[in-house]
Amino acid sequence: MTYSEINNAAVLVEIARRKGNYVPDLSFGTHFFQDLVESGIRYLPLYPDEPGNVFNEAFLGRARNLFPELVPEYAHLADVVRVIDVPAETGGRILRVLMNGDAEEALGMFAEPRPAEPLDAAAALAWPEPTEPFPDDHWRWRLHAVQQLAAQLDAARFGVAGVWVFGSTENGTAGAGSDIDLIVHFTGSESQRRELLLWLDGWSRALAEMNYLRTGNRTEGLLDVHLVTTDDIERRRGFAAKIGAVTDPARKIA
């Protein structure tokens, strides 16, 4: 999935159903968190099996699925993808979601739509004053992305002992076309190495898409990853020499 496929959503809800003693981890929107915030897209994790939570799953099951009509060539996926016209199924009501982040509570309900406000034709046709659409904070956005990546990285699964960032992202000089230079201390097996590189490639492509939507600068990937071993670090060999360097050292990411 790319951000362009969800950027018109009003809210994203992820549902985690308990199976036995296992409850799957939700992504909490971190793959596109910066863009979700900037676009005003709300994110809601839902755990139906937790005490006190109410989930009207029956509505989703009995409502008419419009997906086969919209894309008949993919009608065989109707059991996987459901498209529901809420007003048609509820007599004209809409789905309204109220969220309180401080209380970590939310309520989704079918409500009457609010009357539309009169359109100010003059204001609608007025050309907005020129503004700078993309402030010069490319390095800050990239650093935030690296922090999110590190927070999501399963160190035990991939055999990773540490992550560092260096270059233009670390020293605050990144531009719209700059990549993100990473050093990854790898201690795992060859199969873990392959899995790690695939996982990082997914991040690289996703971040490149996000950067394109922000700046219009198109690249295939945004990460420039350098795997180093414990021996590389001890011998201060190659990019590992930037770890703990006296001048221009790489910055370790928690």
**Per-domain residue ranges of the chain:** 3-114, 138-253
Q: What DSSP line would sit under the chain, residue for residue?
A: --GGGTTT-SEEEEE---BTTB-PPP-TTGGGHHHHHHHT-EEEEE-TTSTT----HHHHHHS---HHHH-GGGGGGTTT-----HHHHTTT-EEEEEEETTTTEEEEEEEPPPPPPPP-HHHHHSPPPP--SS-S-HHHHHHHHHHHHHHH--HHHHTEEEEEEETHHHHT---TT--EEEEEEE-S-HHHHHHHHHHHHHHHHHHHHHHHHHH----S-SEEEEEE-HHHHHHT-GGGGGTT-SSSPPEEE-
* Per-residue confidence (pLDDT) for residue 251, from 0 to 100: 92
Domain covering 138-253 assigned CATH 2.60.40 in the classification: no
- Among 83-92, 122-131, 239-248, whose mean pLDDT is lowest? 122-131
Q: Which of 2-11, 112-121, 122-131, 180-189 comes out lowest in average pLDDT?
A: 122-131
Burial bucket for residue 21 (CB in 10 Å: 0-12, 13-18, 19+): exposed
Q: Which residue has the higher pLDDT, 120 or 182?
A: 182
Determine the Cα–Cα distance for residues 97 and 44; give it in Å rounded to an integer.
Answer: 10
Alpha-carbon distance of 244 to 251, in angstroms, equals 9
Q: What's the pLDDT at 247? A: 80
Sort 62 into a burial class: Cβ within 10 Å, 0-12 / 13-18 / 19+: exposed
pLDDT at 26: 66
CA-CA distance, 3 to 10, in Å (whole number)? 13
**Residue 81, C-beta contacts closer than 8 angstroms, at least 6 positions apart:** 67, 74
Q: Which is nearest to 225 in space by CA: 248, 249, 202, 254?
A: 202
Report the chain's mean pLDDT, rounded to a whole number. Answer: 84
2-17 per-position pLDDT tens digit: 666 776 788 888 888 8
pLDDT 10s digits, 129-160: 444 444 557 888 899 999 999 999 999 999 99
